[in-house]
């Protein structure tokens, strides 16, 4: 598992503001969730094995996240239309942000070189940020195991 390239943010930093189109035809920005804990998780692609496991784990624990006053936001560089299909197919109850122009992945330092079967390419690293009600980064998970991750995040809330 590769560590995110360019991850310059650290715990305690003010989280970069963002605004993006979402699944369901909406728009969301970090400012919309001021005063709440925000789980901002970055993933490579909709409807791929690891990303589906991770999204479904957040889905399965979603009631508990809500109970603890946390918002879950998934971010990838896929389109809002792709997010719509992914969310419907797997009954995802949380918002997916479409970062097609790579503004958010760049601001959070999760866009970088990856390699798969010897081939190098640019892509989104699987990294999660827990942003506190004050807009500061409370915790960063730079390496994520998709099927265990939601439980790890819950334990930190």
Which are the catalytic amino acids?
A: 51
Contact 7, 142 (CB under 8 A): yes
| Phi then psi dihedrals of residue 123, to 5 deg | -170, 180
In sequence order, which residues have a C-beta less than 8 Å from that of residue 60 and are 6 or more positions away?
150
**CA pair distance 122, 112, nearest whole angstrom:** 5
In sequence order, which residues have a C-beta less than 8 Å from that of residue 99 and are 6 or more positions away?
18, 20, 75, 76, 77, 105
Q: How many residues does the chain have?
A: 157
**Alpha carbon of 67 to those of 27, 61, 75: distances in Å?**
24, 10, 22
């Amino acid at each position: 598992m590769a560590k995110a390239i360019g991850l310059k943010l650290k715990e305690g930093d003010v989280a970069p503001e963002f605004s993006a189109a979402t699944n369901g035809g909406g728009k969301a920005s970090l400012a919309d969730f001021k005063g709440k804990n925000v789980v901002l998780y970055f993933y490579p692609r909709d409807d791929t094995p690891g990303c589906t496991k991770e999204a479904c784990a957040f889905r399965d624990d979603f009631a508990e996240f809500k109970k603890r006053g946390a918002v879950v936001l998934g971010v990838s560089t896929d389109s809002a239309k792709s997010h719509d299909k992914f969310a419907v197919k797997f009954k995802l109850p949380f918002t997916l942000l479409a970062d097609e122009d790579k503004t958010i992945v760049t601001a959070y330092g999760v866009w970088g070189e990856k390699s798969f079967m010897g081939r190098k390419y640019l892509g989104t690293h699987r990294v999660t940020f827990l942003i506190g009600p004050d807009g500061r980064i409370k915790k960063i998970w730079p390496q994520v195991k998709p099927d265990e991750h939601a439980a790890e995040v819950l334990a930190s809330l």
